[in-house]
């Protein structure tokens, strides 16, 4: 490695830093330069933490200079969605309602885990207010532009996280996913992502949206980088009540086994909307590469989506009730009415939805007796235009903002792990395919993603639109 650049992956950077070929400070300065060069066009970052980043990088270099191992992510720049606690900074979660919040006493667990592995936090990333959206059109902090086409959205709610990786600013970012907020922007921005099993990664210090459904996840431009990050992020955390007590399962050592021995099928019916031609084509290309033509049906996916919607509205509304009472006018007009409506959702709807979740989970467990991995589109279409209000699904024009999660909500509803892989076709924007696994089988999904990447079926080349403006 000569000089660190946007192409460099986490493994490459870490190896070069640890071997003394480059310093973590130089890598960090280069990342900060890329952010300042492209973020004017993209608006990924709500804050750049120059001082902390250079100080953390210097600490990595100091450890190396005295022969200590700074960790497997030594000097790797990363950034985190604006809902993760960062020590000394108020956590805004894309709002202005929290402007008076006290500075966070310590880093959120996922930020701390990457930091402990030697990674260097360079900034905070834009999102839909309180994570209630699929487009990152934030009325307070502006829209995050898609780095492949600046007239389009990056997806959301972790839009800044996806766009920063797609543009090659940093190799790894953290996001969160309640109904699709990692998978939708990964699809729109043409990059890889992991939304792990519910409870697999600690959420301590992440500002929650819907506790029943919230997951922490991450983005990268290669499967290897996803695996490196995953192996650092796992581990029990008694401070997160939903975090699993299972021991970590390292994914990177077995990555090269690929899809060998795994039973793979395509999700049919609901997930094969005849109107979603590019999405279906992407799933077909992935299925072909994996040599499967088997189709399985999810039972009642539309109701699963509806149940997720109601739990989201109700828990989200209740979470913000105090602020909705006192300062509803300061909420983003894009989220305000849904949060307000959510505060008064009848208990009968939510109780039914939570009971339906048990029924649905049991049926899906049966499904995973027959298969290991299920393929489905991540979004009904590629990135929509900024301000676009409707998309066509099932032959009907439906609101874009609410319906981007058509194919993601029935999956996260019961916490299944998903790796999203980016599929390209000539002259078109990328679109994501979900590799869906049984609970706690993230490592298998990463193996399948690695095989697809090795075969050239999926890839995440750096988006050029923001750089072309220069």
Partner 1 sequence: MEINNPAVIAELTRCHEAYEKALVTNDTAVLDESFWDSPHALRFGVMENLHGADEIRAFRKARPNINLDREIERLDIMSFGDSVGVVNLEFRRSTNFGEQHGRQTQFWIRFAGGWRIVSAHVSLLRSPTDASYLNAAAAQIGLKIDPAYQADVNADLNRMAGIAGFLMQFPLGQEVESAPVFQP
**Closer residue to partner 1 (CB): 285 or 398:** 398
Closer CB to partner 1, residue 66 or residue 344?
344
Radius of gyration of the chain (CA): 20
* Residue 405 buriedness (CB in 10 A; 0-12 / 13-18 / 19+): buried
Q: How far is the CB of 445 from partner 1 (least distance, A)?
A: 23
Verify binding: residue 358, partner 1, rule CB under 8 A. Answer: yes
One-character DSSP codes across 203-242:
-TTB--S-TTT-EEEEEESSHHHHHHHHHHHB---TTSTT
Q: Among residues 50 and 392, whose Cβ is nearest to partner 1? A: 392
Q: How far is the CB of 414 from partner 1 (least distance, A)?
A: 8
- Does the annotation count 81 as an active-site position? yes
Would you say 77 or 377 has its CB closer to partner 1?
377
Stretch that binds partner 1, among 35-43, 52-60, 82-90, 342-350 (CB under 8 A): 342-350
Cα 10 to Cα 295: distance, rounded to the nearest angstrom: 36
Task: Considering the complex, state which of residue 105 and residue 395 has its C-beta at the smaller distance from partner 1.
Answer: 395
Q: Does 261 bind partner 1 (CB under 8 A)?
A: no
**Interaction of residue 207 with partner 1, rule CB under 8 A:** no
* Residue of 236, 248, 268, 306 interacting with partner 1 (CB under 8 A): 306
Among 29, 257, 263, 361, binds partner 1 (CB under 8 A): 361
| Of 157, 161, 193, 212, catalytic | 157
Residue 223: CB partners within 8 Å, gap ≥ 6?
Answer: 192, 255, 419, 446, 449, 450, 453
Given candidates 32, 35, 48, 313, which one binds partner 1 under the rule CB under 8 A? Answer: 313
* CA angle 187–90–233, rounded 5-degree value: 50
CB of 361 to partner 1, least distance (A): 7
Cross-strand bridge partners of residue 153: 145
Least distance in angstroms from the C-beta of 316 to partner 1: 12
Q: Which one of 8-16, 22-30, 134-142, 306-314 is the stretch in contact with partner 1 (CB under 8 A)?
A: 306-314
Q: Which of residues 61-90 bind partner 1 (CB under 8 A)?
A: none
Stretch that binds partner 1, among 126-134, 244-252, 328-336, 430-438 (CB under 8 A): 328-336
Residue 396's Cβ-count burial label (10 Å; 0-12, 13-18, 19+) is: exposed
In the annotation, is 181 catalytic?
yes
Binding mask of the shown chain, residues 378 to 417, with x at each position contacting partner 1 by CB under 8 A: ------------x-xxxxxxx----x--x-----------
Which residue, 57, 56, 39, is CA-closest to 48? 39
Three-class DSSP category at 194 = strand
CB of 180 to partner 1, least distance (A): 15
Question: Which position among 238, 329, 456, 470 is part of the footprint of partner 1 (CB under 8 A)?
Answer: 329
Which of these is catalytic: 8, 161, 181, 193? 181
Q: Is 325 in the site for partner 1 (CB under 8 A)?
A: yes
Q: Which helix (H) or strand (E) holds 195?
A: strand 192-195
Taking the C-alpha atoms of residue 103 and residue 47, their distance in angstroms, rounded to an integer, is 14
Q: Which of 229, 137, 129 is nearest to 188 (CA)?
A: 137
Q: Assign 199 to helix, strand or coil.
A: coil
- CB nearer to partner 1: give 9 or 299: 299
Nearer to partner 1, 310 or 435 (CB): 310
In 87-141, DSSP assigns E strands to: 120-125, 137-138
Query: What order of strands is seen across the sheet that includes strand 431-437?
Result: 45-48, 120-125, 77-81, 172-177, 215-220, 192-195, 418-423, 431-437, 373-377, 264-267, 295-296
Q: Which is nearer to partner 1, 145 or 357 (CB)?
A: 357
Q: Three-class SS of residue 193?
A: strand
What's the CA dihedral at 222, 228, 229, 231 to 10 degrees? 140
- Residues that contact partner 1, how many (by CB under 8 A): 51
Cis before 154 (ω within 30)? no
Residue 346 interacts with partner 1 (CB under 8 A)?
yes
Distances (CA, A) of 420 to 117, 240, 318: 24, 25, 31
Asked if 139 touches partner 1 (CB under 8 A), the answer is no
Give the residue numbers annotated as catalytic, written as ranges.
81, 157, 181
Interface residues toward partner 1, by CB under 8 A? 212, 270, 273-275, 300, 302-303, 305-307, 309-310, 313, 321, 324-325, 328-329, 336-338, 340-346, 348-349, 351-359, 361, 390, 392-398, 403, 406
């Amino acid at each position: 490695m000569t000089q660190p650049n946007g192409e460099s992956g986490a493994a490459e950077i870490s190896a070069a830093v640890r071997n003394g070929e480059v310093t973590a400070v130089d890598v960090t300065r280069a990342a900060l330069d890329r952010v300042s060069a492209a973020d004017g066009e993209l608006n990924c970052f709500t804050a750049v933490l120059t001082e902390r980043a250079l100080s953390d990088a210097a600490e990595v270099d100091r450890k190396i200079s005295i022969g200590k191992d700074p960790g497997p992510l030594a000097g790797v720049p990363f950034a985190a969605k604006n809902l993760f606690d960062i020590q000394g900074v108020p956590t805004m979660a894309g709002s202005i309602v929290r402007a008076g919040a006290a500075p966070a006493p310590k880093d959120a667990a996922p930020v701390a885990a990457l930091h402990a592995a030697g990674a260097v936090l360079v900034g905070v990333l834009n999102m839909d207010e309180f994570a209630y959206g699929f487009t990152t059109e934030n009325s307070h902090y502006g829209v995050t532009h898609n780095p492949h086409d600046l007239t389009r959205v990056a997806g959301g709610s972790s839009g800044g996280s996806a766009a920063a990786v797609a543009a090659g600013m940093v190799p790894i970012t953290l996001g969160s996913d309640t109904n699709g907020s990692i998978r939708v922007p990964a699809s729109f921005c043409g990059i890889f992502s992991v939304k792990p099993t519910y409870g697999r990664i600690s959420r301590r210090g992440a500002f929650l949206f819907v506790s029943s459904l919230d997951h922490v996840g991450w983005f990268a431009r290669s499967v290897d980088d996803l695996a490196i990050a995953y192996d650092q992020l796992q581990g029990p955390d008694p401070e997160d009540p939903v975090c699993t007590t299972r021991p970590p399962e390292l994914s990177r050592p077995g990555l090269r086994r690929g899809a060998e021995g795994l039973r793979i099928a395509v999700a049919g019916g609901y997930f094969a909307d005849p109107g979603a031609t590019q999405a279906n084509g992407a799933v077909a290309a992935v299925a072909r590469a994996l040599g499967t033509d088997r189709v399985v049906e999810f039972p009642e996916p539309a109701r699963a989506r509806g149940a997720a919607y109601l739990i989201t509205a109700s828990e989200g509304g209740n979470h913000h009730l105090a602020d909705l009472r006192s300062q509803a006018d300061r909420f983003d007009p894009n989220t305000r009415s849904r949060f307000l409506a959510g505060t008064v959702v009848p208990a009968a709807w939510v109780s039914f939805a939570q009971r339906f979740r048990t029924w649905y989970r049991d049926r899906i467990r049966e499904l995973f007796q027959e298969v290991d991995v299920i393929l489905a589109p991540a979004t009904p279409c590629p990135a929509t235009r900024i301000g676009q209000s409707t998309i066509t699904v099932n032959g009907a024009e439906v609101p874009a903002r609410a319906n981007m999660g058509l194919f993601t909500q029935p999956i996260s509803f019961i916490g299944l792990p998903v790796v999203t892989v980016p599929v390209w076709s000539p002259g078109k924007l990328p679109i994501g395919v979900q590799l869906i696994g049984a609970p706690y089988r993230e490592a298998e999904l990463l193996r399948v993603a690695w095989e697809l990447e090795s075969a050239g079926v999926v890839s995440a080349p750096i988006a050029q639109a923001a750089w072309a403006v220069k």
